[in-house]
Amino acid sequence: MSVQRLIIMSNRGPYHIHVTKQGIKREKTVGGLVTSILPMVERWGGVWISWGEPEGRYPGSAKPLNFDLHYIGLTPEELQGYYLGLANNALWPLCHYFLGRVHYDNSQWQMYQQVNRKFAKVALEEAQAGDLIWVHDYHLACVPQYLREAQTSNRIVFFWHIPFPAAELFRTLPWRRPFLESLLACDLIGFHVPEFAENFIETAIEVLDAQFKGSSLEYGGRTTQIIARPIGIDYVGVAKQAQSSITEKRVRGLRKTLNGQKIILGVERMDYTKGIVERLQAMEYLLEHHPELRRSITLVQLVTPSRADVEAYRQRKREIDEMVGRINGRFSDGIWVPIRYQYRSFSPAELVAYYRAADIALVTPLRDGLNLVAKEYVASRTQTDGVLILSEFAGVARQLLEALMVNPYSSEDMAGIIVQALQMPKDEQRKRMQAMQDRIKREDINWWAEEFLNQKVCLEDRKDL
């Protein structure tokens, strides 16, 4: 009777599906959630439910997939209200502390609930006794409540991938009560770092008068365990890729193209929270105040398109295009170009080559739930050198303590830290890199999954772990 699979629920699925004459083709999607959850569901099997086209069920088989995909179709109105509206124009900026960008709209909230109901309905169709329903992220916060209303006996766990803001901010959400009540319909909620878990607990106490006991919140006759565990990466897989001969070849090619200049690397989705504009400002400040560094450093900035249907994102892209053009126009000398900017998606193998080639990684989000790019850079440094510059406001700063920490809002601070990184002796680079590698190798994606699934509330149904 007991099937014990994972029912993963997230807004985006792990693949874009292309129906061709030759059959179905899958193309991996880009983003932190998919990167981290995919190895887990590949290992344990089950069903991944997400929004996607074409709508329908795509059964996996042991090869190439060990799990089924179930894509839910959404109407343009649903997409507009739920995804572009409430998720991206209200919850995302709210949770990243951009209150000025938050737009609350009751009709979008209605759509959000309608779509969450659709997801819950599909989960109820898919779930078999003993399956663990694992809901991911802020797009689907109402799903647990709808599952409970349908009297599901399955365990429900939730992972919140983005920051959870201070109670003072979250309380501005007009629908804070139903939102929090739904989350507390779960058996377990996970956050990346203790600060977010504490914010959530405080908000639930303030808004719902929930009781906090031990490591759990009690509300409405239910107990919800709260944990903080930073998501891990497939460390061994990344390190293996970094050592491959194809990577070696690519690294040599990149270094040759850049004529032996020191490579400073930025990699992210196009998003105002990632601090790309602020990084470009810092680069301009650096080149202005340290003319001796001109012609000896290059910022390689890789940006993958994201949420291009949201006006704020399109506007940010225009701003970045214009800034890159202006800074390059100001400092280039015909041979040397200070910023090499590419706006497209890269394969994991290509990214690893950039990580290997880069002397410095600039991971400077204005706020971030965790940040996997920082971890991927560290895992790729198989020669144990290189310097990671990390924003104080990324969740991962709580884990990668040996990185050089920076305030991304300060060009002066950023420029100073880049100079420090450029001058860091190899011995110190190694010491810092080794310590970070040891930690993220130990706390990899398998560690994270097991830490999560080995919690008592999950184990009661999963005897196979």
- Looking at the Cβ atoms of 146 and 341, the one nearer to ligand ADQ is 341
Identity at 352, one-letter amino acid code = V
Q: Which of 26, 31, 148, 424 binds ligand ADQ (CB under 6 A)?
A: 31
CA dihedral 389, 390, 392, 397 (to 10 degrees): -130
The count of chain residues that interact with ligand ADQ, using the rule CB under 6 A, is 25
Scan for tokens 């000025």, then name that residue. 100
Listed ranges 28-36, 119-127, 380-388, 444-452: which one lies at the site for ligand ADQ (CB under 6 A): 28-36
State yes or no: residue 35 binds ligand ADQ (CB under 6 A). Answer: yes
Identity at 458, one-letter amino acid code = C
- From 273, 226, 261, 190, select the one nearest 449 (Cα to Cα): 190
Quote the least distance from Cβ 341 to ligand ADQ, whole Å: 11
* CA 8 remoteness from chain centre: 16
State yes or no: residue 254 binds ligand ADQ (CB under 6 A). Answer: no
- Looking at the Cβ atoms of 156 and 302, the one nearer to ligand ADQ is 302
Q: What is the largest CA-CA distance in the chain?
A: 71
Decide: residue 392, CB within 10 A, 0-12 exposed, 13-18 middle, 19+ buried. middle
- Token pair for 203: 């908000």
- Token pair for 380: 């790729």
Q: Which of 5, 10, 13, 36 binds ligand ADQ (CB under 6 A)?
A: 36
State yes or no: residue 197 binds ligand ADQ (CB under 6 A). Answer: no
- From 245, 203, 204, select the one nearest 223 (Cα to Cα): 204
CA atoms within 13 A on the CB side of 81: 16
Q: Say whether 136 is catalytic.
A: no
- Looking at the Cβ atoms of 142 and 379, the one nearer to ligand ADQ is 379
Using DSSP's 3-state secondary structure scheme, residue 461 falls into coil
Q: Which of 187, 234, 284, 368 binds ligand ADQ (CB under 6 A)?
A: 368
- Looking at the Cβ atoms of 233 and 287, the one nearer to ligand ADQ is 233
Q: Which of 97, 175, 212, 346 binds ligand ADQ (CB under 6 A)?
A: 346
State yes or no: residue 369 binds ligand ADQ (CB under 6 A). Answer: yes
Which of 271, 368, 444, 461 is labelled catalytic? 368
State yes or no: residue 32 binds ligand ADQ (CB under 6 A). Answer: yes
Residues 386 and 358: beta-carbon distance below 8 Å = yes
Q: Say whether 368 is catalytic.
A: yes
State yes or no: residue 443 binds ligand ADQ (CB under 6 A). Answer: no
Residues with Cβ within 8 Å of 275's Cβ and at least 6 positions away in sequence, in order, are: 364, 365, 366, 391, 408
Quote the least distance from Cβ 421 to ligand ADQ, whole Å: 20
Using DSSP's 3-state secondary structure scheme, residue 279 falls into helix
Identity at 278, one-letter amino acid code = E
What are the angstrom distances between the C-alpha of 57 and each of 50, 61, 245, 310, 341?
11, 13, 38, 28, 38
- Looking at the Cβ atoms of 30 and 228, the one nearer to ligand ADQ is 30
Q: Which of 370, 390, 417, 421 binds ligand ADQ (CB under 6 A)?
A: 370
- Looking at the Cβ atoms of 312 and 422, the one nearer to ligand ADQ is 312
State yes or no: residue 373 binds ligand ADQ (CB under 6 A). Answer: yes
Q: Where are the alpha helices (DSSP H) in 290-336?
A: 311-331
State yes or no: residue 371 binds ligand ADQ (CB under 6 A). Answer: yes
Binding mask 228-247 for ligand ADQ (x = CB under 6 A): ---x----------------
Contact residues: ligand ADQ, CB under 6 A: 30-33, 35-36, 161-162, 231, 267-269, 302-304, 345-346, 351, 368-373, 376
Which positions are annotated as active-site residues? 161, 368
